[in-house]
Amino acid sequence: MNKAASGWVNGFAGVLIFSGSLPATRLAVADFDPFFLTVCRATIAGVLAGVLLLVFRQQRPSGSDMIPLLVVAFGVVAGFPLLTALALQYVTSAHAILFIGLLPLSTAIFGVLRGGERPRPAFWIFSAAGSFLVAGFALLQDGESSPIGDALMLASIIVCGLGYAEGALLSKKLGNWQVISWALVLSLPLMLPLALVFAPDSWADIGEPALLSLAYVSLFSMLIGFVFWYRGLAQGGIAAVGQLQLLQPFFGLLLASFLVNETVGLALIAVNIAVVLCVAAARRFA
């Protein structure tokens, strides 16, 4: 398997793992405060990441890597988890998942700005078409949308795209799992005290679904998924492999229907089929 194909395989694995993030977050915020959920998942993942770095004796990043690592931490360790957790207090996970369709465009733009990539014009046409299909459908759902929830989701997409692009560039130098691990470790001195401050007074009222969801977003969404995702972006190109995120709403909606008992209508399925076609076309011209 050549490098580009391997990048698409790893990227697809990352997308599958990330697809469970919003449904799991929706279940978790039913019992946990969004701020606690954000700092707790980062703390759990940060401790595990620190152990992995010590066990495998990874070399410390250089001074020039610190700012990019902090950008990664800001985007994917703190920004995206917090903004989505806050948004899911106002909108359903099925509605929020639709905004994930904007992530490929955000990632591609930052890939150009930060990584110097230059996809062909046809790539941008299909990338924008897929993103606007998702965004347009979300805006038409008057019964489910919320101005605050939608604004928070849009902000999360911007910071996440930045974190993805920055992490992909760093992974070529530090390694895929090492990038997210160092970002988590750098965040730990802030996240651990905040986790203690925002911890619930009693865990007796925390249900099993919320606990399992916390475990999922801490281990898979914050660490394991990035192992595949950053490797895929580094191998296949940030803009190109990033288009796989257009498939994430489809998988996420299926999970939302099973886990959170949210309705997935035919219109949602139709939009996602059109998005899949845009992904295929964007891949061809990337």
Q: In terms of residues, how long is the chain?
A: 286
Among 32, 161, 17, smallest CA distance to 86 is for 32
pLDDT at 15: 94
Contact between 162 and 80 under an 8 Å Cβ cutoff? The reply is no
Q: pLDDT exceeding 90 applies to what percent of the chain?
A: 54
pLDDT in tens, 3-42: 888 999 999 999 999 999 988 998 999 999 999 999 999 9
Residue 60 has pLDDT above 80, yes or no: yes
pLDDT at 85: 93
Token pair for 21? 């993030």
Among 150, 134, 130, smallest CA distance to 142 is for 150
| Distance spanning both ends of the chain, measured CA to CA | 19
63 — pLDDT class (breaks 50, 70, 90): very high
Among 210, 166, 161, 153, smallest CA distance to 24 is for 210
Among 50, 20, 87, 30, smallest CA distance to 192 is for 50
Cα distance between residue 40 and residue 193, in whole Å: 10
pLDDT at 143: 52
Cα distance between residue 159 and residue 155, in whole Å: 7
Residue 249 has pLDDT above 80, yes or no: no
Residue 66 has pLDDT above 80, yes or no: yes
pLDDT at 64: 94
pLDDT at 144: 61
Q: How far is C-alpha 13 from the chain's CA centre?
A: 13
Q: pLDDT exceeding 70 applies to what percent of the chain?
A: 94
pLDDT at 100: 82
**Stretch 271-278: mean pLDDT, rounded?**
79
Among 254, 261, 248, 221, smallest CA distance to 98 is for 248
Rounded to 10 degrees, the C-alpha dihedral 163/253/177/152 comes to 20
Cα distance between residue 13 and residue 141, in whole Å: 30
pLDDT in tens, 69-81: 999 999 999 999 9
Token pair for 219? 């281990």
Rounded to the nearest integer, the mean pLDDT of the chain is 88
* Helix locations, the chain, DSSP H: 3-18, 21-28, 34-55, 66-72, 80-87, 93-99, 103-115, 121-140, 147-174, 176-198, 208-216, 225-236, 238-242, 248-259, 266-285
**Stretch 39-53: mean pLDDT, rounded?**
97
pLDDT at 278: 82
Domain boundaries, the chain: 3-285
Residue 113 has pLDDT above 80, yes or no: yes
pLDDT at 254: 78
Cα distance between residue 124 and residue 121, in whole Å: 5
91 — pLDDT class (breaks 50, 70, 90): confident
- The count of C-alpha atoms lying within 13 angstroms of the C-alpha of 15, restricted to the half-sphere facing its C-beta, is 24
**Stretch 48-65: mean pLDDT, rounded?**
95
pLDDT at 264: 62
pLDDT in tens, 114-168: 877 788 888 888 888 887 887 777 666 655 678 899 899 999 999 999 999 999 9
**Stretch 89-116: mean pLDDT, rounded?**
84
Q: Is the pTM of this model over 0.75?
A: yes
pLDDT at 268: 72
- Residue 266, burial from CB neighbour count under 10 angstroms (0-12, 13-18, 19+): exposed
